[in-house]
Structure 1
């Protein structure tokens, strides 16, 4: 409203509007603008917090590196870093280090432990450099060496990282101890320690990692070859089944069709009697049923599924327990004395067991027709608590078996295999008092064999093919693959935990032996150096000021030793222009960190001063 009034007042006589004064536009701030400014500030604050969280998450992902870093792994790294830091604090305490130096050493250990996965080469070089100034971080060297040997990709990169770390360790050690000992001794001792504490864990870690990678690759290749073998065996099996199906369709299908056609024509012949016409009808029905079964079997062999019968054709009899009565009735119609009994409460079976029971009865009746014509046959079905028992028995043959009986000798074998696949069993053998008996036990709820059984079948077939190939070439003159030899060559296993523990113990033992050798060499060197750096009080008292320098030096050790380096300048002021020899007294004070020094100063070929004082190490 105020802005509108100002605009009206600004109209000149000509009617043209002038812009409102800049002061009014600049100084007026409405209530809505204040709220919007507050909201904008809140939005900026929220965006800033989101950016901070995103940056924190990105930094955490970078710190974890390519390996998954779980809470358990983080807790383990912190525990390892804590233990190494405590050991380092013990080293710093022995060397009388200051509090800030001890804290710096512990912080360096924790940081290097957490970064060793993301920056294995950098932590190796940094850890080798800082131990010269922070002895408390000494025990981090095996850890960063192990991590670098395992995680640095490429031999060249690993060699460069370890070389740079060795150079850093030597250079900084020489710089730190330059004023107190000889550089050659520092280089030798630092080299031995670097080999024992860094190089050896790195080599062991690299060997262990490469071995695991190689074994994992071999295991994957072995699994791939086994899968390919199963596929090849399955394809060969499928091709053979298709060939058998084609032969059955071309030969048996034609013959059964001829039988069905001729029996159908014979059935309507007016010259036949009623009994003969009934027998011919049974033959025609049997031929039609056989054609349906042949079509079903051919479909299973070709595609692995049952082929449905056309609607316009006669449907085949049920292929289960319900169809057993029809099989028995058909046998009676052919003139065979067949009796069927059922005991127990009928229970449903799964499809595979139901079909197996039907096939057992069918095959047993067929064998009785062939080998014991005219003998009475009994079919018994007993529904027990956990299984169905199917028993078919025939008495002694009433006459000789018909000539020209066709028998492949595989019927009972096929029944046993069919029952085994559904978890049952089949027994066949002579019955008491003559005759023959076939009995099958089938569970109610068993399912067909699973993938494991199929894989076993593939393996058995492949082994049989390999054995057959060892005796000669296969079809087509090609040499089959020796799968047994492939299995023996590729029988590799990943290292177990016990093997990894044993390997770790061996590496630790070897490192301990090398450390003992290094410290033993250091002790021997220290003892040898002590003889050149120590003198007893009697020798000190036997020397008088004013004696010739040559005579005094002849009775004293040379003093050229790292144990006395810099000790001559820690005592009282030396005489001007003199050259002093500082030696350690054999009777040292009881407190740690302090040495008793005997100093002899020479000038113009004579001993001009001898002093006894205590100096900090």
Structure 2
């Protein structure tokens, strides 16, 4: 917290130092100002910077007041940068717009209200509105768009993080559910074996060829097998979920106990699925965990092919090596008509991955170039192989799409935030340039016309040889007018420069004096 406050203090001091530089350079006595004006500007900008983080509109109002006090047309070189900066910060730091719009309307109204007080004309009010649009409103709009850009970026990252957490939680639930299914498979297989052991022990218990001691031992073995079966059923009932056991702790197996891959393929063919099975490599015994993992992978893959690619040809391949078993299931693009799809959480592959990992293997899956899908698992054949380490979670596809969509929206908004104000500034600049050149051309006196004028010629402001509109008055710091003149008219000597100007003084409607004044 202290470090953040120190950082803000350093930034505010740096901003204040940058804003007072134009005041020090343009309001000193050498440029027609005074040290009092410099002091007022430095202190006023310091107060504006100090309150800008809490009250950015008040800081902008202070900058506007300082600029209007220097010039009723609002635009002044000492405070132009301050207007732009505080206008941007007002849009960047303030969320609501109503107060800002009220301030802009007040500045425009004040610009026109100052016209009679400063002995100006209506063009002065127009200049205030133009400066307001270019130096204050345009930066304010840019600041608002930057604020919206930051909010969109922050919201996009928060959404992506939340979706990643939700998908990770769904994957964890699917892994737990898969472990519950493994527990169910263990119950089905071990329960079957224990039942056979109890049945054999019961037969030995009543065998007349055994003695009483052996029959009693067989009876104890039968009771122990029955108790083990009951305890196994209770433990599996705790591990199984409601979805697996319908809230009863146990459930009937969905597939026959000990069903082979060949039987699964035959059952799929009988259901109308076009499936081919290829088995290569030497025969041999398969560890129970690997056998159940292979069975589950083939069943799940065939189910997905029938659901998502109806009518597609499916290839199932079992490749047995000395110490590994590779299972591949791939299908082409669907050619049939899809029926109404059931809702799916998209976590079937997560469950398969957990099943294969616990068997010590590795599962990979990919979309084929022809539109189909392929699943491949490599599992060890060594009994008691340890489970493979849990792989690092990949980026959630849904969150990636949401982040990309948010980035596109942000880029689009940022482009609008940049180009719209620039286009507005360019359009207003062109209008102002054209209007200024047109206004100046109406007060421009050609040199040949000036030379053709002679003292004593009858002359009026609307004479044919004179421009339609003389200047409003003499430029600043020009020599005083000759005494005894009724009035003097000033015209531009060049189209773009303020000085020199032509001065034509009249007495009783005749030209009494003409001069080029600097």
C-alpha offsets along residues 560-613 of structure 1, whole Å, 9 cap, x if unaligned? Answer: 335x4567996145426x12213344599xxx9x94454333233333444555
Tell me how far apart the structure 2 counterparts of residues 413 and 120 of structure 1 sit (CA, whole Å): 56
Look up the match of 1:190. Answer: 128
Question: CA contact under 8 A between 1:422 and 1:442: conserved in structure 2?
Answer: no
**What is the alpha-carbon distance in structure 2 between the residues aligned to residue 607 and residue 537 of structure 1?**
17
Equivalenced residue count is 399
Establish whether residue 86 from structure 1 lines up as the match of residue 38 from structure 2: no
Match of 2:345 in 1: none
Quote how far apart the aligned CAs of 1:70 are.
Answer: 3.6
Partner residue of 1:160?
102
Structure 1 distance, partners of 2:415, 2:159, is 31
- 2:67/2:79 contact within 8 Å kept: yes
- 1:575–1:601: 8 Å Cα contact kept in structure 2? no
Change (3 A) 1:421 1:141: farther
Change (3 A) 1:75 1:169: farther
Q: Quick one: structure 1 residues 127 and 70, their matched pair in 2 at CA, closer, same or farther if it must change by over 3 Å?
A: same
- Taking a change above 3 Å as real, the CA distance of residues 550 and 587 of structure 1, as seen in their structure-2 partners, is closer
For 1:255 and 1:362, locate their aligned partners in 2 and report how far apart those are by CA, in whole Å. Answer: 13
Aligned position for 2:484 = 575
- 1:427 and 2:380 correspond: yes
- Which residue of 1 is the match for residue 506 of structure 2? 602
Q: Rate the CA distance shift 1:425–1:88 in 2: closer, same or farther, 3 A.
A: farther
Partner of 1:318: none
Long gaps (5+) in structure 1: 1-60, 304-359, 367-389, 393-411, 429-437, 460-483
Q: Is contact 2:447-2:493 (8 Å) kept?
A: yes
Q: How far 1:138 sits from its partner (Å)?
A: 0.7
- 1:147, 1:205 within 8 Å by CA — same for their partners in 2? yes
Tell me, yes or no, if the aligned pair for 2:191 and 2:229 is still in contact at 8 Å: no
Change (3 A) 1:248 1:540: closer
Quick one: structure 1 residues 513 and 442, their matched pair in 2 at CA, closer, same or farther if it must change by over 3 Å? Answer: same
Aligned partner of 1:442 among 386, 391, 408: 386
Show CA shifts across 1:127-147 (max 9, x none): 334323153111222322222
Larger Rg computed on CA atoms = 1
Q: Who is 2:238 aligned against?
A: 299
Q: Which residue of 1 aligns with 2:82?
A: 140
The answer to whether the 8 Å contact 1:87/1:136 transfers is yes
The answer (yes or no) to whether the contact 1:128–1:168 under 8 Å persists in 2 is no
Unmatched segments (≥5 aa) in structure 2: 71-75, 243-285, 293-321, 325-351, 364-376
Structure-1-length-normalised TM-score: 0.48
Corresponding residue to 1:547 among 438, 447, 457: 457
Residues 289, 226 of structure 1: alpha-carbon distance in 2 compared, 3 angstrom cutoff = same
Relative distance call for 1:114 and 1:551 in structure 2 (3 A) is closer
1:115 corresponds to: 51
* CA shift in 2, pair 1:413/1:151, >3 Å: closer
1:71 aligns with 2:10: no
Distance, in Å, in 1 between the alignment partners of 2:354 and 2:208 is 43
Q: How does 1:400-419 map to 2 (within 5 A)?
A: 416-419=356-359
In 2, are the aligned partners of 1:125 and 1:164 still within 8 Å (CA)? Answer: no
Displacement of 1:160 in angstroms is 1.9
Corresponding residue SS for 2:456 = coil
The residue correspondences of 1:203-222 to structure 2 (distance < 5 A) are 203-213=141-151, 216-217=154-155, 220=158
What RMSD in Å do the two structures reach over aligned CA positions?
5.8
The whole-number CA distance in structure 2 between the counterparts of 1:580 and 1:391 is 112
Matches within 5 A, 1:157-306: 157-169=99-111, 171=113, 174=115, 178-179=118-119, 182-183=121-122, 185-213=123-151, 216-217=154-155, 220=158, 263=201, 266-267=204-205, 271-272=209-210, 288-301=227-240
> Offset at 1:272?
1.2
More divergent stretch after superposition (258-267 vs 112-121): 258-267
| Residue-by-residue CA offset, 1:54-105 (whole Å, 9 max, x unaligned) | xxxxxxx9xx9xxx95433443343344334435656668993425245544
What is the TM-score normalised by the length of structure 2?
0.55
Instruction: Give the distance between the partners of 2:180 and 2:378, measured in 1 at CA.
Output: 29
Name the residue aligned to 1:98.
Answer: 33
Pairing of 1:332-411 with structure 2 (within 5 A)? none
User: C-alpha displacement at 1:118, in angstroms?
Assistant: 1.4
- The 5 Å alignment of 1:488-499 reads 490=402, 495=407
Hey, what does 1:151 align to over in structure 2? 93
Distance change in 2, residues 1:568/1:117 (3 Å): closer
User: Structure 1 residues 99 and 197 mapped into 2: Cα distance closer, same or farther (>3 Å)?
Assistant: same
Distance change (3 Å), C-alpha of 1:525 and 1:106: farther
